[in-house]
Amino acid sequence: MARVIKQKPMTIIERLYIFEAMRGLWTTLKHAARGLFRYEQLPTISYPEGQPEINNGYRAKHRLMLRPDGTPRCVACGMCAAACPAHCIFIEATQSDDPRIEKRVMRFDIDHLVCVFCGLCAEACPVDALRMDTKKIVFEHRTREEFVAHLSDLIDWDPKDYPEDAQSQMAPGGTKNAEARKVWGMEVK
Protein backbone atom coordinates (compact mmCIF):
# COMPACT_ATOMS: atom_id res chain seq x y z
CA MET A 1 0.00 0.00 0.00
CA ALA A 2 1.28 3.31 -0.90
CA ARG A 3 2.30 5.48 2.02
CA VAL A 4 1.81 9.20 1.92
CA ILE A 5 4.81 11.06 3.32
CA LYS A 6 4.00 14.46 4.67
CA GLN A 7 6.72 16.92 3.75
CA LYS A 8 7.57 19.61 6.23
CA PRO A 9 6.61 22.93 4.65
CA MET A 10 9.56 25.20 3.92
CA THR A 11 10.08 28.15 6.17
CA ILE A 12 10.17 31.66 4.85
CA ILE A 13 14.02 31.73 4.97
CA GLU A 14 14.20 28.58 2.93
CA ARG A 15 11.69 29.88 0.47
CA LEU A 16 13.84 32.99 -0.08
CA TYR A 17 16.54 30.65 -1.63
CA ILE A 18 19.50 33.02 -1.33
CA PHE A 19 20.38 32.06 2.27
CA GLU A 20 20.19 28.34 1.53
CA ALA A 21 22.38 28.77 -1.55
CA MET A 22 24.95 30.61 0.56
CA ARG A 23 24.87 27.82 3.11
CA GLY A 24 25.56 25.23 0.40
CA LEU A 25 28.44 27.24 -0.98
CA TRP A 26 29.91 27.50 2.53
CA THR A 27 29.93 23.70 2.81
CA THR A 28 31.75 23.39 -0.53
CA LEU A 29 34.25 26.04 0.48
CA LYS A 30 34.84 24.32 3.81
CA HIS A 31 35.79 21.00 2.12
CA ALA A 32 37.91 22.78 -0.49
CA ALA A 33 39.79 24.50 2.28
CA ARG A 34 40.28 21.19 4.10
CA GLY A 35 41.76 19.72 0.91
CA LEU A 36 44.25 22.56 0.82
CA PHE A 37 45.25 22.86 4.49
CA ARG A 38 44.01 19.69 6.30
CA TYR A 39 44.68 17.17 3.51
CA GLU A 40 45.17 14.15 5.80
CA GLN A 41 41.66 14.49 7.25
CA LEU A 42 39.95 13.85 3.89
CA PRO A 43 37.95 10.59 3.76
CA THR A 44 39.29 9.76 0.25
CA ILE A 45 42.74 8.33 -0.63
CA SER A 46 44.89 9.77 -3.33
CA TYR A 47 45.26 6.51 -5.26
CA PRO A 48 47.74 5.25 -6.46
CA GLU A 49 50.17 7.05 -4.13
CA GLY A 50 48.05 6.04 -1.17
CA GLN A 51 46.84 2.46 -0.95
CA PRO A 52 43.66 1.44 0.84
CA GLU A 53 43.98 -0.59 4.00
CA ILE A 54 42.69 -4.11 3.38
CA ASN A 55 41.14 -6.32 6.03
CA ASN A 56 42.30 -9.85 6.66
CA GLY A 57 39.18 -11.44 5.24
CA TYR A 58 39.38 -9.55 1.99
CA ARG A 59 39.21 -11.81 -1.09
CA ALA A 60 42.10 -10.62 -3.22
CA LYS A 61 44.37 -12.30 -5.75
CA HIS A 62 44.90 -16.03 -5.23
CA ARG A 63 48.01 -17.82 -4.07
CA LEU A 64 48.89 -21.50 -3.73
CA MET A 65 50.30 -22.64 -0.39
CA LEU A 66 53.57 -24.56 -0.39
CA ARG A 67 54.77 -27.68 1.36
CA PRO A 68 57.99 -27.43 3.39
CA ASP A 69 59.95 -28.68 0.38
CA GLY A 70 58.55 -25.94 -1.84
CA THR A 71 56.14 -27.96 -3.97
CA PRO A 72 52.58 -26.65 -4.14
CA ARG A 73 50.18 -28.25 -1.71
CA CYS A 74 47.58 -28.57 -4.46
CA VAL A 75 46.62 -32.18 -5.21
CA ALA A 76 44.78 -31.22 -8.39
CA CYS A 77 41.47 -32.60 -7.17
CA GLY A 78 39.49 -30.04 -9.13
CA MET A 79 37.19 -29.08 -6.26
CA CYS A 80 37.91 -25.37 -6.80
CA ALA A 81 37.17 -25.69 -10.49
CA ALA A 82 33.97 -27.56 -9.63
CA ALA A 83 32.90 -24.89 -7.14
CA CYS A 84 33.83 -21.96 -9.37
CA PRO A 85 30.67 -20.24 -10.62
CA ALA A 86 32.62 -18.35 -13.30
CA HIS A 87 34.49 -21.41 -14.63
CA CYS A 88 37.78 -19.56 -14.59
CA ILE A 89 40.02 -22.29 -13.08
CA PHE A 90 41.76 -24.79 -15.34
CA ILE A 91 43.62 -27.69 -13.77
CA GLU A 92 45.59 -30.58 -15.18
CA ALA A 93 47.00 -33.28 -12.96
CA THR A 94 49.85 -35.70 -13.26
CA GLN A 95 51.62 -38.40 -11.30
CA SER A 96 53.84 -37.15 -8.49
CA ASP A 97 57.49 -38.16 -8.28
CA ASP A 98 57.30 -38.27 -4.49
CA PRO A 99 56.25 -41.80 -3.45
CA ARG A 100 54.21 -40.40 -0.55
CA ILE A 101 52.14 -38.19 -2.81
CA GLU A 102 49.80 -39.55 -5.43
CA LYS A 103 48.75 -36.66 -7.55
CA ARG A 104 50.49 -33.42 -8.40
CA VAL A 105 49.26 -30.35 -10.21
CA MET A 106 50.78 -29.79 -13.63
CA ARG A 107 48.77 -26.82 -14.83
CA PHE A 108 46.84 -24.43 -12.63
CA ASP A 109 45.45 -21.39 -14.42
CA ILE A 110 43.11 -18.79 -13.00
CA ASP A 111 41.72 -16.32 -15.49
CA HIS A 112 41.40 -13.15 -13.44
CA LEU A 113 39.40 -11.44 -16.15
CA VAL A 114 36.65 -14.02 -15.64
CA CYS A 115 37.06 -14.50 -11.88
CA VAL A 116 34.33 -12.93 -9.75
CA PHE A 117 36.36 -13.16 -6.50
CA CYS A 118 33.58 -14.97 -4.68
CA GLY A 119 36.00 -17.08 -2.64
CA LEU A 120 34.18 -20.37 -3.21
CA CYS A 121 37.37 -21.93 -4.60
CA ALA A 122 39.33 -21.19 -1.44
CA GLU A 123 36.50 -22.61 0.65
CA ALA A 124 36.25 -25.75 -1.48
CA CYS A 125 39.94 -26.60 -1.21
CA PRO A 126 40.30 -29.78 0.90
CA VAL A 127 44.02 -29.28 1.60
CA ASP A 128 44.07 -25.53 2.26
CA ALA A 129 46.19 -24.99 -0.82
CA LEU A 130 44.30 -22.17 -2.48
CA ARG A 131 43.99 -18.92 -0.56
CA MET A 132 42.88 -15.42 -1.45
CA ASP A 133 44.73 -13.59 1.33
CA THR A 134 47.46 -11.88 -0.70
CA LYS A 135 45.72 -8.49 -0.32
CA LYS A 136 46.76 -7.74 -3.89
CA ILE A 137 43.87 -5.95 -5.50
CA VAL A 138 45.60 -4.33 -8.44
CA PHE A 139 45.48 -6.11 -11.76
CA GLU A 140 47.24 -4.16 -14.47
CA HIS A 141 48.48 -5.84 -17.62
CA ARG A 142 48.97 -5.01 -21.26
CA THR A 143 47.30 -8.08 -22.83
CA ARG A 144 44.44 -10.39 -21.94
CA GLU A 145 46.77 -13.38 -21.71
CA GLU A 146 48.72 -11.74 -18.90
CA PHE A 147 45.62 -11.67 -16.72
CA VAL A 148 45.71 -15.46 -16.55
CA ALA A 149 47.69 -16.42 -13.45
CA HIS A 150 49.69 -19.58 -14.00
CA LEU A 151 51.05 -22.03 -11.48
CA SER A 152 54.39 -20.20 -11.37
CA ASP A 153 52.66 -16.90 -10.52
CA LEU A 154 50.46 -18.46 -7.88
CA ILE A 155 53.31 -20.07 -5.92
CA ASP A 156 55.45 -16.93 -6.16
CA TRP A 157 54.95 -15.35 -2.74
CA ASP A 158 57.18 -14.50 0.19
CA PRO A 159 56.55 -15.88 3.71
CA LYS A 160 57.78 -12.53 5.09
CA ASP A 161 54.55 -10.95 3.83
CA TYR A 162 52.52 -13.26 6.09
CA PRO A 163 54.29 -12.97 9.48
CA GLU A 164 51.28 -14.00 11.57
CA ASP A 165 50.29 -17.01 9.48
CA ALA A 166 51.93 -20.19 10.82
CA GLN A 167 51.06 -22.18 7.71
CA SER A 168 52.82 -19.70 5.46
CA GLN A 169 55.92 -19.76 7.66
CA MET A 170 56.37 -23.48 6.93
CA ALA A 171 57.12 -22.70 3.31
CA PRO A 172 60.76 -22.31 2.22
CA GLY A 173 62.11 -19.03 3.61
CA GLY A 174 59.69 -19.02 6.52
CA THR A 175 60.60 -19.07 10.18
CA LYS A 176 59.12 -22.52 10.79
CA ASN A 177 60.44 -24.09 7.62
CA ALA A 178 63.36 -25.90 9.26
CA GLU A 179 61.27 -27.81 11.79
CA ALA A 180 58.49 -28.49 9.30
CA ARG A 181 61.05 -29.87 6.90
CA LYS A 182 62.28 -32.26 9.58
CA VAL A 183 58.83 -33.78 9.91
CA TRP A 184 58.22 -33.64 6.18
CA GLY A 185 61.46 -35.35 5.29
CA MET A 186 60.59 -38.31 7.50
CA GLU A 187 62.07 -41.64 6.51
CA VAL A 188 59.97 -43.65 4.16
CA LYS A 189 60.13 -47.23 5.24
In angstroms, give the least distance from the CB of 95 to other proteins.
7
In angstroms, give the least distance from the CB of 121 to other proteins.
14
Per-residue binding string, other proteins, 104-143, x by CB under 8 A, is ----------------------xx----------------
Which residue of 8, 100, 142, 144 would you call a contact of other proteins, by CB under 8 A?
Answer: 100
Phi-psi region of 176 (alpha: psi -120 to 50; beta: other; left: phi over 0): alpha
Q: How far apart are CA 110 and CA 120, in angstroms?
A: 13
In angstroms, give the least distance from the CB of 92 to other proteins.
9
184 binds other proteins (CB under 8 A): yes
97 binds other proteins (CB under 8 A): no
Which residue of 14, 32, 45, 102 would you call a contact of other proteins, by CB under 8 A?
Answer: 102
187 binds other proteins (CB under 8 A): yes
166 binds other proteins (CB under 8 A): no
Which residues contact other proteins by CB under 8 A? 75-79, 82, 93-95, 99-100, 102-103, 126-127, 183-184, 186-189
